[in-house]
Structure formats: C-alpha cells, structure tokens
Amino acid sequence: MELWQQIALAAIAVAVVFFFGPGAKRMAEESPSGTWQDWWTFIKIVAVVVLGIVLMILFLRG
C-alpha cells in the first residue's frame, strides 16, 4: 500500500471515530444492561462466526 493510501486510510479511521463515537457512547449509556444469558448468547454467536472464518481460511489454503 502506498503512502498516500495509508494516510487516507488513517484519516478515514479518525473521521469514523469522531463521527460515530459520541452517538455510540450515548447509546451505550442509555441502553438497558444485558443479563448473563444475553452475554452468553452473544459469546456463542461470536465464537461460531470466528470458527466459520477460521474454517474457511483453512479450506481455502489447503
């Protein structure tokens, strides 16, 4: 990746943080807190997605 592309990518990343940061913070403060079961379900979903990605990488490599 060339230097100007790296600079543009960094500028976009900073802009996204400044654009979505305040709204995400306010949303997190005003949202109801999840129960233990909600977090466990979230962890299971994330684990399945990560496992799927790892399996795709392994199948495509070999």
33-60 per-position pLDDT tens digit:
878 888 899 999 999 999 999 999 999 9
**Are 50 and 26 within one domain?**
no
Instruction: State the pLDDT at residue 36.
Output: 87
CA distances from 25 to 29, 39, 42, 49, 51 (A): 6, 19, 20, 25, 29
Instruction: State the pLDDT at residue 49.
Output: 94
* Cα(51)–Cα(56) distance, integer angstroms: 9
The whole domain housing 2 covers 1-31
Q: Is the pLDDT of residue 1 over 80?
A: no
**Are 26 and 38 within one domain?**
no
Q: Is the pLDDT of residue 8 over 80?
A: yes
* Cα(17)–Cα(7) distance, integer angstroms: 16
* Cα(38)–Cα(46) distance, integer angstroms: 12
- Model confidence pLDDT, tens digit, residues 11-28: 999 988 888 878 877 877
How many domains would you assign to the chain? 2
**Are 21 and 5 within one domain?**
yes
**Are 8 and 19 within one domain?**
yes
Instruction: State the pLDDT at residue 33.
Output: 81
**Are 41 and 54 within one domain?**
yes
